[in-house]
Structure 1
Amino acid sequence: MSIQVDSRYLQVLFEGHGLSCDVVDGWVLPEGRRPAIRAEWYPNRNGFSGVFNVRVLMPDGVEFQEACSGMGTGDEGIDNGFVKSTENAFHVLLAALWRRDQDEQVHRGARYARRRLHGVSGPFRGARQGALSAGDAGSHR
């Protein structure tokens, strides 16, 4: 059973990178259009951890997900998973889908099966350096 994470978490992140957002049915739409993004928390049965799952809905309707583990229960676990997500996948998604690059990121171009691909990785910073707390966005649900 999942818990819908308050869209203000993601909205604060995007606005911090200069992207205004609309929220429709729990989906955050940076610049008012797709790709859209939302997050959910899946607590594990062990009671000590869970999965912070970020879903991205592309303009053509394709959806993909990025998951980060979170340690703790309830709001503590959601907060921990949110912070890990912002330290890892968020900046790559931000650069790849919304063209908000950072100096520390690495970009690579490649060709595969006659298609031109663009890869983004990084930024490579120490854990917790400049991390945003989920509490900055208010209530989790």
Structure 2
Amino acid sequence: MDRLIQNHLIDLFAEHGVELEADEDWLLTEGEDFPAIRGIWHEGAGGGMGRLDIDIVLDEERTIEESFGGIGAGKAGCRDALDGFARNDFHVVLAACWHRVNAKKLAVRELVAGVHRFTLYIGDFTLRGEKDAPMEIPEDGLSALEAAIATAPLTADVHWIRVFYGNVGDGKTQVEVLLDNEPWAAGHKAIASVDWPQHERYYSLRNFIALVPMD
């Protein structure tokens, strides 16, 4: 499975002008130690959903840690999870870490947080769930989050935010917002305050944002 993941990532990056080469478990840009990326697949128990962990090392102290569920057993589940990475995180990390910006695949904005100016690379909200689940994203979904970012005590480093919203049904929801891999209370409050579409069946929305200092 490691070879499948590495080959998939090598091909994905190559399609966007970045050549990666394998160094044991990691994929590196030729002549560079950072950034480095790897994927690790965990098979689901009893035929259940597996998990793909994607690690992107920015420097000796900071690593983006993301996980994606994969439906199906073995290679099918792993490919499904890799597709989740490609749809949700890929173009954001490509811009923030490898400096290749595809304006058709993400939004690019500027924002001031404290005394630092950042370029925000904002990926699409990606939907998972029933086919007839709502697709409309509330206009205040991102604005609420940007307001929270503007007041966050950020350093002049690359930061990243992962948003997860789940509509469970019967008015129940799941919200998780991480800032630099850690739960972020202000971001959670911002996302929970948004009037997300309600639906009888389960659906989830996922979003990934990177902040790159302009200073």
TMscore range, shorter length: 0.7 to 0.9
Higher relative contact order (CA 8 A, sep 6+): 1
CA change 1:109–1:73 in 2 (3 A) is: same
Shift of 1:124: 7.1
1:116 alignment counterpart: 117
2:75 alignment counterpart: 75
The percentage of aligned residue pairs carrying the same residue is 27
Shift of 1:81: 0.6
Residue 38 of structure 2 corresponds to residue 45 of structure 1: no
2:88 alignment counterpart: 88
2:8 alignment counterpart: 9
TM-score between the two structures when normalised by the length of structure 1: 0.76
SS of alignment partner, residue 120 of structure 1:
strand
- In the alignment of these two chains, the number of paired residues is 125
2:18 alignment counterpart: 19
Shift of 1:31: 4.1
Higher-Rg structure is 2
For 2:48 and 2:126, how far apart are their aligned partners in 1? Answer: 27
Instruction: Letter of the 2:118 partner, please give it.
Output: L
Instruction: After superposition, give the CA deviation of every residue in 1:26-81 in whole Å (9 maximum; x if it has no partner).
Output: 21113442110010112232422111111001123311211111101111110111
Instruction: Letter of the 1:64 partner, please give it.
Output: I
1:63 alignment counterpart: 63
For 2:67 and 2:85, how far apart are their aligned partners in 1? Answer: 8
CA contact (8 A) 2:35 2:58 kept: yes
Structure 1, unpaired ranges of 5+? 128-141
Q: Which moved more, 1:59-68 or 1:116-125?
A: 116-125
Instruction: Letter of the 1:57 partner, please give it.
Output: V
CA RMSD of aligned residues (A): 2.3
TM-score between the two structures when normalised by the length of structure 2: 0.52
